[in-house]
Amino acid sequence: MPPEAPGADRPLRRVARVVVLDPEDRILLLHGHEPGDPADDWWFTPGGGLEGGETREEAALRELREETGITEVELGPVLWRRVCSFPFAGRRWDQDEWYYLARTAQTAIAAEGLTELERRSVTGARWWTCRELTEGHETVYPTRLAELLRRLLDEGPPERPETLATEIV
């Protein structure tokens, strides 16, 4: 039986994600895996759920700081919006994700603000070129990230956020 569509009877978690680019136009991705199963792994952009009354912009900057240690960043516009649903750590997560563009010259990573769950499931970070993403065989979310990054680098940010296809894993 296929997984239920997001929001079928569960509220969507509001999430801010960050497409962080360095001066060489490399993108920063985190390497994660299912807790207890390092072989079930993937790469993803920094970010996470909103806390309390914070805005998505505030959440994006907080999550970036907690997950990477990057604080010297220029937060740009929302590039993409995506609804997704996936199993992780014994439950199904339904999310409404907004992807912000950010530029930084700070390339050293120090993930010192991870939650307990993140400490069990995030194993590192890496700066990727668009070519490496395109030619790689790793699982990356969102699944079209290489294509989206190439278009961003070639054309610049869209006039308004692009709505990506819903992804259900």
d(CA 112, CA 49): 18
For the chain, helix (H) and strand (E) counts, in that order, are 4, 10
- The SS3 call for residue 130 is helix
pTM score above 0.95? no
d(CA 63, CA 154): 27
Question: Average per-residue pLDDT in the chain?
Answer: 88
Tell me what percent of the residues of the chain surpass a pLDDT of 90: 64
Tens digits of residue pLDDT in 115-129? 776 766 678 899 999
Tell me, what DSSP letter sits at residue 134? H
Instruction: With a cut of 70, say whether residue 35 has pLDDT above it.
Output: yes
Instruction: With a cut of 80, say whether residue 6 has pLDDT above it.
Output: no
Instruction: With a cut of 60, say whether residue 7 has pLDDT above it.
Output: no
Backbone angles phi, psi at 134, to 5 degrees: -65, -40
Q: How far is CA 47 from the centre of its chain?
A: 5
Over 11-50, what HEC string results? CCEEEEEEEEECCCCCEEEEEEEECCEEEEEEEECCEEEC
d(CA 153, CA 158): 11
- Say which amino acid occupies 75: L
Higher-scoring residue by pLDDT: 110, 148:
148
